[in-house]
Structure 1
């Protein structure tokens, strides 16, 4: 996950948020929208040593864009969830998955509506991750 820090810094810099500090945020009160620029990742393993397998960028303001395959749908889901990433996971456990422990972690880093965010969730294996994240477009990358 150490490589993720550099990736997040690059995305934030591209979105003009690299120097986002409380004083910088207060100085930009005339903005028409709160900035939102995220890096979404999936990694094999858990904790800081998890090996990132896939990463996409997602910017939701001023318009949906990024390397995410469906940025408009993903941004709509985030707005509907008010940025509470945990609510975007399915609570149902109806999929039949093998009982093999091969942890997979999904993560979201960046800025959501002007606030720095860092979230991750580890699942016991890829099947469990697919079952929990199969609720919409956000994790479909």
Structure 2
């Protein structure tokens, strides 16, 4: 490179480094009035998420509009609203329903939920003894 070109490139880089932060607003406005609520729900065969063979994963977004790959994202968001995002309480939503009997076989199924609920980070994991117990004990939003 010629010396003049090196100086020109160095001056341009210095100008960009100094002027770049000055061109940004001091506080950026939020893009939405609603706190983010986007979750990824997974099921897998195994005792915990780190060793489970994944079966399925779905997404649900419960912010202003309800979207996602979940089969019933509106019901999932409604269930989460009813327990105020407390995933441990989701099983109580089905406590009044008649439950079919399940076999006592041990084929563990792990359910995980990760993401953000109303601006708070979520990292949830629960293991059921088998898929029948998962289907009867888990709330509608987790049965996918």
TM-score between the two structures when normalised by the length of structure 1 = 0.72
Count of aligned positions:
114
Question: Equivalent residues in 2 for 1:1-141 (5 A)?
Answer: 31-47=32-48, 48-90=50-92, 92=95, 94-133=99-138, 135-136=139-140, 138-141=141-144
CA distances 1:60-114 after superposition (whole Å, capped 9, x unpaired): 1121001011111211111121000111114759532111111001110001111
Partner of 2:59, secondary structure, is: strand
**Structure 1 residues 121 and 32, CA, compared in 2 at 3 Å: closer, same or farther?**
same
Once residues 129 and 55 of structure 1 are traced to their aligned partners in structure 2, the CA distance between those partners, rounded to angstroms, is 15
TM-score between the two structures when normalised by the length of structure 2 = 0.71
Tell me if the contact between 2:134 and 2:143 (Cα under 8 Å) persists in the aligned partners.
no
More helix by share: 2
In structure 2, runs of 5+ residues without a counterpart are: 1-26
In structure 1, runs of 5+ residues without a counterpart are: 1-25
Q: CA RMSD in A?
A: 2.2
Partner of 1:64, secondary structure, is: coil
Once residues 76 and 115 of structure 2 are traced to their aligned partners in structure 1, the CA distance between those partners, rounded to angstroms, is 15
Q: Which has the larger radius of gyration?
A: 2
**Structure 1 residues 63 and 104, CA, compared in 2 at 3 Å: closer, same or farther?**
same
